[in-house]
Chain A
Protein backbone atom coordinates (compact mmCIF):
# COMPACT_ATOMS: atom_id res chain seq x y z
CA UNK A 1 0.00 0.00 0.00
CA UNK A 2 1.48 3.31 -1.09
CA UNK A 3 1.14 5.86 1.69
CA UNK A 4 1.60 9.59 2.07
CA UNK A 5 1.81 10.69 5.68
CA UNK A 6 1.42 14.16 7.14
CA UNK A 7 1.07 15.43 10.66
CA UNK A 8 -2.59 16.43 10.90
CA UNK A 9 -1.85 19.34 13.21
CA UNK A 10 -3.14 21.78 13.96
CA UNK A 11 0.14 23.64 13.58
CA UNK A 12 0.00 27.10 15.07
CA UNK A 13 2.61 29.79 14.38
CA UNK A 14 2.68 33.53 15.11
CA UNK A 15 2.47 36.01 12.27
CA UNK A 16 5.90 36.60 10.72
CA UNK A 17 7.31 33.25 11.80
CA UNK A 18 8.41 30.33 9.61
CA UNK A 19 5.92 27.50 9.26
CA UNK A 20 7.41 24.09 8.52
CA UNK A 21 5.20 21.37 7.07
CA UNK A 22 6.43 17.83 6.61
CA UNK A 23 5.45 14.83 4.52
CA UNK A 24 6.78 11.30 4.12
CA UNK A 25 5.92 8.80 1.42
CA UNK A 26 6.34 5.06 1.11
CA UNK A 27 6.76 4.46 -2.64
CA UNK A 28 10.41 4.78 -3.70
CA UNK A 29 9.27 4.95 -7.33
CA UNK A 30 7.61 8.31 -6.76
CA UNK A 31 8.68 10.87 -9.33
CA UNK A 32 6.97 14.16 -8.63
CA UNK A 33 5.84 15.96 -5.51
CA UNK A 34 3.31 18.70 -4.95
CA UNK A 35 2.03 20.98 -2.22
CA UNK A 36 -1.54 22.22 -2.35
CA UNK A 37 -3.29 24.72 -0.10
CA UNK A 38 -6.96 24.18 0.67
CA UNK A 39 -9.11 26.76 2.40
CA UNK A 40 -12.19 25.48 4.20
CA UNK A 41 -14.99 24.73 1.73
CA UNK A 42 -12.75 25.34 -1.29
CA UNK A 43 -10.82 23.12 -3.70
CA UNK A 44 -7.04 22.54 -3.47
CA UNK A 45 -4.80 25.21 -4.98
CA UNK A 46 -1.34 24.26 -6.28
CA UNK A 47 1.38 26.29 -4.58
CA UNK A 48 4.60 24.33 -5.25
CA UNK A 49 5.89 21.35 -7.17
CA UNK A 50 9.31 19.72 -7.09
CA UNK A 51 10.80 16.89 -9.11
CA UNK A 52 14.50 16.82 -8.09
CA UNK A 53 16.32 16.46 -4.81
CA UNK A 54 17.12 19.73 -3.08
CA UNK A 55 15.34 23.00 -2.50
CA UNK A 56 13.00 24.98 -4.73
CA UNK A 57 12.02 28.51 -3.77
CA UNK A 58 9.07 30.58 -4.95
CA UNK A 59 8.48 33.81 -3.08
CA UNK A 60 7.81 33.03 0.58
CA UNK A 61 7.56 29.29 -0.12
CA UNK A 62 10.39 26.73 -0.24
CA UNK A 63 9.86 23.08 -1.07
CA UNK A 64 12.53 20.60 0.00
CA UNK A 65 12.85 17.07 -1.37
CA UNK A 66 15.01 14.21 -0.10
CA UNK A 67 14.29 11.07 -2.11
CA UNK A 68 16.74 8.94 -0.11
CA UNK A 69 14.81 9.69 3.07
CA UNK A 70 11.45 9.72 1.21
CA UNK A 71 10.70 13.10 2.69
CA UNK A 72 9.33 16.33 1.30
CA UNK A 73 8.71 19.54 3.21
CA UNK A 74 7.27 23.00 2.72
CA UNK A 75 8.57 26.09 4.47
CA UNK A 76 6.49 29.25 4.58
CA UNK A 77 8.50 32.32 5.56
CA UNK A 78 6.97 35.47 7.05
CA UNK A 79 3.71 33.61 7.69
CA UNK A 80 0.54 35.67 7.32
CA UNK A 81 -2.96 35.06 8.73
CA UNK A 82 -4.08 34.51 5.12
CA UNK A 83 -1.80 31.44 5.03
CA UNK A 84 -4.13 29.74 7.54
CA UNK A 85 -5.43 26.71 5.65
CA UNK A 86 -4.95 22.97 5.25
CA UNK A 87 -1.80 22.04 3.32
CA UNK A 88 -1.93 18.85 1.29
CA UNK A 89 1.14 16.93 0.19
CA UNK A 90 0.71 14.91 -3.02
CA UNK A 91 3.00 12.35 -4.61
CA UNK A 92 2.84 11.04 -8.17
CA UNK A 93 4.38 7.83 -9.48
CA UNK A 94 4.78 6.65 -13.03
CA UNK A 95 1.38 4.98 -12.90
CA UNK A 96 -0.34 8.38 -12.92
CA UNK A 97 -1.71 7.67 -9.48
CA UNK A 98 -1.52 10.90 -7.50
CA UNK A 99 -1.74 10.14 -3.80
CA UNK A 100 -2.53 12.77 -1.23
CA UNK A 101 -1.85 12.96 2.46
CA UNK A 102 -4.69 13.84 4.80
CA UNK A 103 -3.32 17.37 5.16
CA UNK A 104 -1.87 19.55 7.90
CA UNK A 105 -4.02 22.35 9.27
CA UNK A 106 -2.01 25.53 9.73
CA UNK A 107 -3.14 28.48 11.82
CA UNK A 108 -1.19 31.75 11.72
CA UNK A 109 -2.05 33.94 14.69
CA UNK A 110 -1.87 37.75 14.36
Chain B
Protein backbone atom coordinates (compact mmCIF):
# COMPACT_ATOMS: atom_id res chain seq x y z
CA UNK B 1 0.00 0.00 0.00
CA UNK B 2 1.32 3.44 -0.96
CA UNK B 3 -0.79 5.58 1.35
CA UNK B 4 -2.40 7.30 -1.64
CA UNK B 5 -6.18 6.98 -1.58
CA UNK B 6 -8.78 7.71 -4.24
CA UNK B 7 -12.55 7.94 -4.24
CA UNK B 8 -14.84 6.70 -5.50
CA UNK B 9 -13.61 3.26 -6.61
CA UNK B 10 -16.11 2.97 -9.44
CA UNK B 11 -18.43 5.45 -11.09
CA UNK B 12 -21.00 5.29 -13.87
CA UNK B 13 -22.03 8.51 -15.57
CA UNK B 14 -24.05 9.52 -18.61
CA UNK B 15 -22.61 11.37 -21.58
CA UNK B 16 -22.73 15.13 -21.02
CA UNK B 17 -22.62 14.91 -17.23
CA UNK B 18 -19.86 16.20 -14.98
CA UNK B 19 -17.73 14.18 -12.56
CA UNK B 20 -15.36 14.92 -9.67
CA UNK B 21 -12.72 12.44 -8.58
CA UNK B 22 -10.75 12.78 -5.37
CA UNK B 23 -7.25 11.88 -4.24
CA UNK B 24 -5.42 12.07 -0.93
CA UNK B 25 -1.67 12.13 -1.26
CA UNK B 26 0.80 10.12 0.81
CA UNK B 27 1.90 11.83 4.02
CA UNK B 28 4.73 14.28 3.33
CA UNK B 29 4.08 14.49 -0.41
CA UNK B 30 3.29 17.92 -1.87
CA UNK B 31 2.85 16.96 -5.52
CA UNK B 32 -0.09 15.17 -7.13
CA UNK B 33 -0.30 14.02 -10.73
CA UNK B 34 -3.36 12.68 -12.53
CA UNK B 35 -3.38 10.11 -15.31
CA UNK B 36 -5.95 8.49 -17.58
CA UNK B 37 -5.40 4.84 -18.46
CA UNK B 38 -7.47 3.25 -21.20
CA UNK B 39 -7.65 -0.52 -21.44
CA UNK B 40 -4.45 -2.04 -22.80
CA UNK B 41 -2.56 1.25 -22.78
CA UNK B 42 -0.10 3.00 -20.51
CA UNK B 43 -1.24 5.88 -18.31
CA UNK B 44 -1.55 9.23 -20.08
CA UNK B 45 -0.51 12.34 -18.15
CA UNK B 46 -3.37 14.79 -17.56
CA UNK B 47 -1.79 17.36 -15.24
CA UNK B 48 0.27 17.85 -12.13
CA UNK B 49 -0.27 20.03 -9.06
CA UNK B 50 2.61 21.23 -6.91
CA UNK B 51 1.84 23.23 -3.76
CA UNK B 52 -1.68 24.09 -4.99
CA UNK B 53 -0.56 25.33 -8.43
CA UNK B 54 -0.86 23.53 -11.78
CA UNK B 55 2.68 22.51 -12.65
CA UNK B 56 2.40 20.88 -16.05
CA UNK B 57 -0.35 19.64 -18.32
CA UNK B 58 -0.63 16.91 -20.90
CA UNK B 59 -2.63 16.91 -24.11
CA UNK B 60 -6.11 17.01 -22.58
CA UNK B 61 -8.88 19.54 -23.35
CA UNK B 62 -9.87 22.30 -20.89
CA UNK B 63 -12.91 20.34 -19.76
CA UNK B 64 -10.40 18.39 -17.67
CA UNK B 65 -9.59 20.61 -14.71
CA UNK B 66 -8.23 20.18 -11.24
CA UNK B 67 -7.52 21.58 -7.81
CA UNK B 68 -5.06 20.96 -5.04
CA UNK B 69 -5.90 21.88 -1.48
CA UNK B 70 -3.65 23.15 1.34
CA UNK B 71 -3.39 19.61 2.73
CA UNK B 72 -2.16 18.55 -0.76
CA UNK B 73 -5.20 16.43 -1.53
CA UNK B 74 -6.53 16.96 -5.03
CA UNK B 75 -9.60 16.80 -7.25
CA UNK B 76 -9.97 16.02 -10.93
CA UNK B 77 -13.07 17.47 -12.59
CA UNK B 78 -14.30 16.44 -16.01
CA UNK B 79 -17.13 18.37 -17.67
CA UNK B 80 -19.32 17.37 -20.61
CA UNK B 81 -18.38 13.70 -20.36
CA UNK B 82 -17.82 11.78 -23.57
CA UNK B 83 -17.90 8.03 -24.15
CA UNK B 84 -14.13 8.05 -24.73
CA UNK B 85 -13.61 9.36 -21.18
CA UNK B 86 -14.34 5.85 -19.94
CA UNK B 87 -11.07 4.75 -18.36
CA UNK B 88 -9.17 4.15 -15.15
CA UNK B 89 -8.20 7.47 -13.57
CA UNK B 90 -5.05 7.32 -11.53
CA UNK B 91 -3.65 9.75 -9.02
CA UNK B 92 0.01 9.64 -8.02
CA UNK B 93 1.83 11.58 -5.33
CA UNK B 94 5.51 12.41 -4.90
CA UNK B 95 7.85 14.25 -2.49
CA UNK B 96 8.19 16.99 -5.04
CA UNK B 97 7.90 17.51 -8.75
CA UNK B 98 10.17 15.21 -10.75
CA UNK B 99 10.63 12.59 -8.07
CA UNK B 100 9.33 9.04 -8.15
CA UNK B 101 5.55 8.84 -8.02
CA UNK B 102 3.36 6.47 -6.04
CA UNK B 103 -0.06 5.58 -7.37
CA UNK B 104 -3.39 5.26 -5.65
CA UNK B 105 -5.78 2.39 -6.46
CA UNK B 106 -7.57 4.37 -9.17
CA UNK B 107 -11.16 5.26 -10.03
CA UNK B 108 -12.85 3.29 -12.79
CA UNK B 109 -15.13 5.67 -14.73
CA UNK B 110 -17.69 4.34 -17.16
CA UNK B 111 -19.55 6.79 -19.40
CA UNK B 112 -22.72 5.47 -21.05
Contact = CB atoms under 8 A, between A and B. Distances in A.
Interface of A: 4, 31-32, 34, 36, 42-46, 49, 88, 90, 92, 94-103
Contacts of B33: 96, 98
A46 B102 contact: yes
A83 to B, nearest CB: 19
A97 B58 CA distance: 7
A46 B48 CA distance: 18
Most B C-beta atoms less than 10 A away, residue of A43, A92, A100: A43
Interface of B: 2, 33, 35, 40-45, 48, 50, 55-56, 58, 88, 90, 97-106
Q: Interface residues of A: mostly helix, strand, loop or mixed? A: strand
18 contacts: A4-B42, A32-B99, A32-B100, A34-B100, A34-B101, A43-B88, A45-B2, A46-B102, A46-B103, A88-B43, A92-B98, A94-B98, A96-B48, A96-B56, A97-B45, A97-B56, A100-B35, A100-B42
A45 B98 CA distance: 17
Nearest to B90: A43
Contact of B103 (A43, A96, A102, A103): A43
B72 to A, nearest CB: 16
Given A96-B48, A99-B45, A46 B40 contact: no
